[in-house]
Amino acid sequence: QVQLIESGGGLVQTGGSLRLSCAASPRTASIVYMGWFRQAPGKEREFVAMISWNGAHEMYPDSIKGRFTISRDNAKNTVYLQMNGLNPDDTSVYYCAAGSGSCARAYECDAWGQGTQVTVSS
């Protein structure tokens, strides 16, 4: 029932920045956590960031901290992923996801967006 729509992907140079958006429609009580994952061809889906709607609860893997920032806008039912200092290793399809108990592991997430491509040129 809930649809997640990502936007903001594209092609950037090494060292550049992108801001991804994920709009949830509609918001429901079951959506407590929203997260970002990425998956490159031939690789497993990788956790990038998670945030809760009801508090200041953000989570990142150690490899992401300091470069990527997840944020939310409750009025717009939208979460964002600000990505700075991009490098070619960040090239991937980025997926927005939502879960009721958590969404830091793929199996914890209940809904997924269609993905948006991020490509970082060398």
CA 65 from centre of chain: 14
Q: CA-to-CA distance for 105 and 65, rounded, in angstroms?
A: 17
Please give the chain's pLDDT, 122 residues, in tens: 789 999 999 999 999 999 999 999 876 667 789 999 999 999 999 999 999 987 668 999 988 878 999 999 988 889 999 999 999 999 999 999 999 889 999 999 999 999 999 999 99
Rounded distance, CA 51 to CA 42, Å? 27
